[in-house]
A and B are shown apart, each in its own frame.
Chain A
Amino acid sequence: MSDGGKENRKKSVEEELFRLYTNFEAETSENEDTRQGGNEEDDDIFDAEDSFDLCEDRPDVSENELDFKDGLAENKPRNLSADKYNQFGKEAYENIKEENINSTNVNAGHNYSLGRMSRASGTADSVFENSIGHNPVPNNLESDAAPAAPHDGSSPLLKLSEEVWEENSGKEQSETSIEKDNTSERYSESGKQAAAAFNAETVEAAELADSFPSKQKSTDNAEKESGINKFGNKKNVKRKFNEKLEIKYNKNSILSDGNLREGEGNLQAEKKNNASAKEKKNRFERIIDNYSRSGSSEKLLSDSPYITAGKTPMNMYADFIIAAVPLLIWAVYLYGFRVILVSLVSVLSCVCFELWFEYLVYRRVTVQNLSAVKEGLFLSLLFPAAVPLWIPIVAAFFGTVVIKELFGGLGKNLLNPSLAGFALVSVIFRESAAVFTAPFSYLPLFGAADEVLSGMSGLYPLSSVCGGSLPSGSYAEMIIGQRAGSIGEVSAVLICAGLIYLIMRRVISWQIPISFLVVSIFLYFVFPRHILSYRFTITEMLCGMIPLCAVYFASDFSTAPIFKSGKIIFGAGCGVLTVILRYAGVGIYSTVYAILVMNLAARPIDLYVIPFFAKMFRSGKIRFSRRSISENNK
């Protein structure tokens, strides 16, 4: 079943909350109406008391104070108000002004206009009077403000949370037998609601949010869902939830009137589908216990921050895709529309394999966040345009299913899926995967590639470099990318543009690609393949997969360390391994294997290497000195 979309879910939760809120308001307002009579009596008594002279009751009030009170006969705002400030502030201000250290500069005749100082509050008072009038509190508020019952919860969230609290502290009371059977369940449901309201505290709450797709009221739902119910569990849970709420809110009326019919009906409906719900309840209760174990229900309710930056994984993967599109367009210009075909095949196969596997193991679908699309697209960047179409499919299967999904899905994969898939294919189908064609030799879309390919062996510049001979072609051709090669790797300029875009959008950080490139350039200059022949160095940097892999694959965040220093170590390791593997004769794809090896090292770097260095820093061997403004002002 589909996820229903982020917006839809958000909306539905909000609406549900709003509905609850208003329902509850309607109920409580009735109670308040009945209470108002008592309030008026209280007010009368209070007025009568008020008519007594204040001084007679209070012997401790001095005569001075009485004088003062007479002075304040008009009812004026007291604190921070204009009049009071004029009366008492002047002396104090003069008093303090003399305290200035460099008071020699002060003009003695400079009288500070207190009118100016108190102007602000004066205007504020007038604004206040204009907007609200003399009595800012309307009548309905006064009735509300009766101290007799100041906490008659006007918010359903409050009530729910209080119940959760009571549940935690074991104050659960047994009422009738029916009630007793279902109290714990009801409480857990109400806890769910509280959690959902407070920003999806748990996974259960998120699932609950999923189960609010329709905008119907609860009664309508109950009628509708008596029919065919395809998605059994989730909707049943929802219906049950609504019924529970009704029971909860109508509890008083049901019990007092003795009209148990509705309640019974609802309870029977609950019993029908409590098998799946019980599991959920237990899981949720466990989480509640987890929180209550740690002291108070504050853990459950105070879930600051209440806002989010609004970025989702989808945004980040979409940025990756945008950064890869120029490479594709350039490849279409070089090799023809077969490039599009290859990338379409790999994208579709990645998406399909991921969907299939997620349905197979009942995992939440993650296709909509574009991660599978990104992987497919990046996989196609690694292949030459003339690759047989079944090879990307095999690579996609290995990458998405074996490398990614079997390890737990997105974010839990140890290796980059597209790189791993490509590595497998490049080893097994060594000959058929590495079919490089000359630029501007457009291939037919399907089949008949052999005729074109027959005269095109040994065109790939890096393979001739590895063989020990320099390829033909100028530097400009290498940089702009008019040469034989994979779809994505040819144009160093466009790769640089992609790097800048990704860094500007803060999708990747600069540490990995820059350290990768810097270290590999450094090593190639220090240890060139032929001494004093730096043309080899430049050719190896530009003609292999180093730029592409450094920018698009090594920087993939889910298979890289998360600390900045760890990222630098990671990138440097990639560079060193690439150079070593190339000199060891592994071949043209040594960059890919280097990154895969470093991917395995990413988590150990996070967990062991960085804490080790952090300990050294903290022990005081090395200290950062930071500039401070304190020197300026001393």
Chain B
Amino acid sequence: MTSKLSHGSGGVGFRRMRQNSSEELCVITDVPYLKISLHGYNGETAVPTISSGDRVLAGQLIADSDGEFSVPIYSGISGIVTGIEEKQDIYGELRRFIIIRGDGNNRTVKPEPYSKRLADSTPEELIEFIRKTGVVGRDKYPLWKNISESRGAAKRLIINAVPCDPDDKAGHCVMFEYAERMLCGIKIILKALELRHAVIVLSDSMKRQADKLESIMEAEGSGKLFSIAFAADRYPLYEEGQIINSVGGETLKSGERPYKTGYAVVDAVSCVELFASFSEGLPCTNTILSVGGDCPRKPKTVILPHGSEISVLENVCGGFWKKPLRIIAGGRMRGRVYRENDTVDRGMRLLQFDYVIENRGIKNCIRCGKCVEVCPARLAPVYLSNYAAKNNTEKCIEFRIEDCTECGCCSYVCPCGIPLVKNIRLGKKLIDTSRKEDETPDVRRR
């Protein structure tokens, strides 16, 4: 059963964006060392359970915490822990890393596959197991947290395979190569959520993947369990709010998790990772990463242990045409800049090595209104940015600045090169600080 989703208002098409990527898959296991970040969702940092000098096996627990969004972290290779260090990242935030030097043997811990039958197991057990696998979503949001909070609240499961960038081929690749595993992973999640139906949202460029999924469903007879929906190849459709809006029509308020609207949204890649560790009995230590951008000669989709250095990818992709000037993780529209000796993080799905830096300078606004046309949240970015630049927080709130998801569509289409998104971020920060000041009682005023 397939259907075509209407894309909501706004957004930009992929057609005009640069593209250099492929669905060719490549597995890397031998990395000389890992530098595993302990940083999780919402700034939570895991506590190391090993100390410097210890020997670790692949799949061994190295860090854990009891925080709300905590996920156990496992080593991807076997070797020796050479240090636990703190380092500033490019944005000036302190991050903790565990550094593991590999011995090249790749010895694993004893695998413990899920022993019970799925029909006999309770959702609590499954969630417990999912937490143990350490699978995280696209923005490092833990899968177990996503499922446990959606359990009961969510009436429908959405499997999100929409790419965030034309270069984002991780979903394409996974859908085709590991289609069966993905369906099995969805079944596990359905069981954990106690639901009976999942909508798999593909993008228009995934016809091949849809055919394969349908043939498998036919063979299994699980056609009633899944339905496939096609979303347009537009930019912010991969966001949870957008995808819920186009599937069900509900609007997700800013800052809310999708279960509030009765939907659970799960990344397609994490379904595959979940089933892989479910069947193998080894925790998820790998990321599925599509490597693209201007520089790689042979772009690929790579499976490699998280914590490995980004510079490893140069050789995997057949070298670079030119030295990359900017490395972006998470798409050119809203990604973050990384350095060459930074490491591949958990939840990273796309890495782009860019040489072309588009810089057109800032001109006066000509009020063309394109930013209003493309805004998926139906805001007026011109006015928001103007007011934010003038520190006018009242007007910012009146124009609903907090509904902005910072998708970047407005800055993308702006013919005058105005940094709209940046000004809006500034405005949001200003509002946050002013609210904090209001909350704290001011003694001097009395």
Check A78–B106 contact: CB distance below 8 A: yes
Check A409–B360 contact: CB distance below 8 A: no
Distance of B134 from chain A, by nearest CB (Å):
12
Distance of B296 from chain A, by nearest CB (Å):
13
- State the CA gap A173–B183 with chains docked (Å): 58
A526 at the interface (CB under 8 A from B): no
Contact pattern, B 409-425, Cβ under 8 Å of A = 1, otherwise 0:
00111111101011001
Check B365–A411 contact: CB distance below 8 A: yes
Chain B residues near A584 (CB-CB < 8 A): none
Q: Quick one: closest B residue to A114, CB to CB?
A: B180
- State the CA gap A21–B419 with chains docked (Å): 25
Q: Which of B80, B107, B316 has the most CB of A within 10 A?
A: B107
Q: Which of A141, A196, A209, A369 has the most CB of B within 10 A?
A: A141
A312 at the interface (CB under 8 A from B): yes
Known contacts: A298-B92, A307-B18, A316-B368. The answer to whether A136 contacts B323 by CB under 8 A is no
- State the CA gap A424–B152 with chains docked (Å): 70
Contact pattern, A 7-18, Cβ under 8 Å of B = 1, otherwise 0:
001100110011
Which of A117-125, A332-340, A392-400 is the contact stretch?
A117-125
B354 at the interface (CB under 8 A from A): yes
B177 at the interface (CB under 8 A from A): yes
Distance of A224 from chain B, by nearest CB (Å):
25
- State the CA gap A399–B188 with chains docked (Å): 69
Query: Of A81, A199, A305, which is within 8 A of B333 by CB?
Result: A305
Q: Which of A80, A151, A369, A408 has the most CB of B within 10 A?
A: A80
Check B248–A628 contact: CB distance below 8 A: yes
- State the CA gap A57–B81 with chains docked (Å): 14
Query: Of B118, B333, B363, which is within 8 A of A96 by CB?
Result: B118
Check A303–B91 contact: CB distance below 8 A: no
Check A120–B360 contact: CB distance below 8 A: no
Check B33–A147 contact: CB distance below 8 A: yes
B254 at the interface (CB under 8 A from A): no
Chain B residues near A176 (CB-CB < 8 A): none
- State the CA gap A460–B414 with chains docked (Å): 43
Which of A62-70, A177-185, A437-445 is the contact stretch?
A62-70
Known contacts: A131-B26, A302-B337, A309-B412. The answer to whether A557 contacts B369 by CB under 8 A is yes
Distance of B378 from chain A, by nearest CB (Å):
9
Q: Quick one: closest B residue to A196, CB to CB?
A: B359
Which of A154-162, A225-233, A245-253, A481-489 is the contact stretch?
A154-162
Distance of B193 from chain A, by nearest CB (Å):
13
Which of A100-108, A470-478, A514-522, A541-549 is the contact stretch?
A100-108
Scan residues 203-222 of chain A and give those whose CB is less than 8 A from a CB of chain B. 203, 206, 209-210
Interface size class of B (residues with CB under 8 A): 35 or more
- State the CA gap A65–B111 with chains docked (Å): 9
Chain B residues near A448 (CB-CB < 8 A): none
Check A154–B28 contact: CB distance below 8 A: no
Check B415–A313 contact: CB distance below 8 A: yes
Q: Quick one: closest B residue to A69, CB to CB?
A: B107
Distance of A563 from chain B, by nearest CB (Å):
6
Check A316–B415 contact: CB distance below 8 A: yes
Which of A262-270, A288-296, A572-580 is the contact stretch?
A288-296
Check B92–A136 contact: CB distance below 8 A: no
Scan residues 406-446 of chain B and give those whose CB is less than 8 A from a CB of chain A. 406, 408, 411-417, 419, 421-422, 425-426, 429-430, 433
Check A308–B414 contact: CB distance below 8 A: yes
Chain A residues near B27 (CB-CB < 8 A): 77, 80-81, 121, 124-125, 128
Check B367–A199 contact: CB distance below 8 A: no
B197 at the interface (CB under 8 A from A): yes
Check B248–A203 contact: CB distance below 8 A: no
Q: Quick one: closest B residue to A610, CB to CB?
A: B380
B132 at the interface (CB under 8 A from A): no
A627 at the interface (CB under 8 A from B): yes
Check B80–A46 contact: CB distance below 8 A: yes
Check A80–B276 contact: CB distance below 8 A: yes
Distance of B428 from chain A, by nearest CB (Å):
9
- State the CA gap A93–B17 with chains docked (Å): 40
Query: Of A104, A299, A306, A366, which is within 8 A of B326 by CB?
Result: A306
A606 at the interface (CB under 8 A from B): yes
Distance of A328 from chain B, by nearest CB (Å):
24
A137 at the interface (CB under 8 A from B): yes
Scan residues 126-173 of chain A and give those whose CB is less than 8 A from a CB of chain B. 127-128, 131-132, 134-138, 141-142, 144-145, 147, 150-155, 158, 161-162, 165, 168-169
Check B221–A103 contact: CB distance below 8 A: yes
A88 at the interface (CB under 8 A from B): yes
Scan residues 278-333 of chain B and give those whose CB is less than 8 A from a CB of chain A. 278-282, 284-286, 303, 305, 309, 311-312, 315-316, 318, 323, 325-326, 328, 332-333
Query: Of A17, A137, A297, A559, which is within 8 A of B325 by CB?
Result: A17
Query: Of B76, B408, B429, which is within 8 A of A295 by CB?
Result: B429
Check A72–B108 contact: CB distance below 8 A: yes
A76 at the interface (CB under 8 A from B): yes
Q: Quick one: closest B residue to A64, CB to CB?
A: B110
Contact pattern, B 64-88, Cβ under 8 Å of A = 1, otherwise 0:
0000000000001000101100011
A431 at the interface (CB under 8 A from B): no
Check B433–A294 contact: CB distance below 8 A: yes
B184 at the interface (CB under 8 A from A): yes
Check B367–A206 contact: CB distance below 8 A: no
Check B32–A199 contact: CB distance below 8 A: no
Contact pattern, A 619-634, Cβ under 8 Å of B = 1, otherwise 0:
0000000111110110
Query: Of A68, A93, A150, which is within 8 A of B341 by CB?
Result: A150
Q: Which B residues are within 8 Å of any A CB, using their own CB?
A: 1, 3, 5-6, 12, 16-18, 24-33, 35, 55, 58-59, 76, 80, 82-83, 87-88, 90-93, 99, 101, 103-111, 113-114, 117-119, 156, 176-178, 180-181, 184, 187-188, 191, 196-197, 199, 219-225, 227, 229, 247-249, 275-276, 278-282, 284-286, 303, 305, 309, 311-312, 315-316, 318, 323, 325-326, 328, 332-337, 339-341, 354, 356-370, 372-373, 380, 382-383, 398-399, 406, 408, 411-417, 419, 421-422, 425-426, 429-430, 433
Nearest 6 A/B pairs, CB to CB: A120-B177, A305-B408, A105-B221, A628-B249, A92-B279, A562-B369
23 sampled A-B residue pairs with Cβ under 8 A: A14-B359, A21-B323, A25-B323, A46-B103, A49-B80, A72-B106, A78-B58, A78-B108, A102-B222, A102-B225, A120-B176, A131-B316, A202-B362, A291-B426, A304-B336, A313-B415, A315-B415, A366-B363, A366-B364, A411-B364, A559-B367, A563-B369, A611-B399
Query: What would 13 more interface pairs be, CB under 8 Å, given A76-B29, A120-B25, A121-B177?
Result: A10-B359, A46-B80, A79-B76, A80-B27, A95-B118, A128-B26, A137-B30, A154-B339, A306-B354, A307-B333, A308-B358, A557-B369, A606-B380
Q: Which A residues are within 8 Å of any B CB, using their own CB?
A: 6, 9-10, 13-14, 17-18, 21-22, 25, 46, 49-50, 54, 57-58, 62, 64-65, 68-69, 72, 75-81, 84-85, 88-89, 91-93, 95-106, 110, 112, 117, 120-121, 123-125, 127-128, 131-132, 134-138, 141-142, 144-145, 147, 150-155, 158, 161-162, 165, 168-169, 196-203, 206, 209-210, 290-291, 294-299, 301-313, 315-316, 364, 366, 369, 371, 408-412, 509, 557-560, 562-564, 606-607, 611, 626-630, 632-633
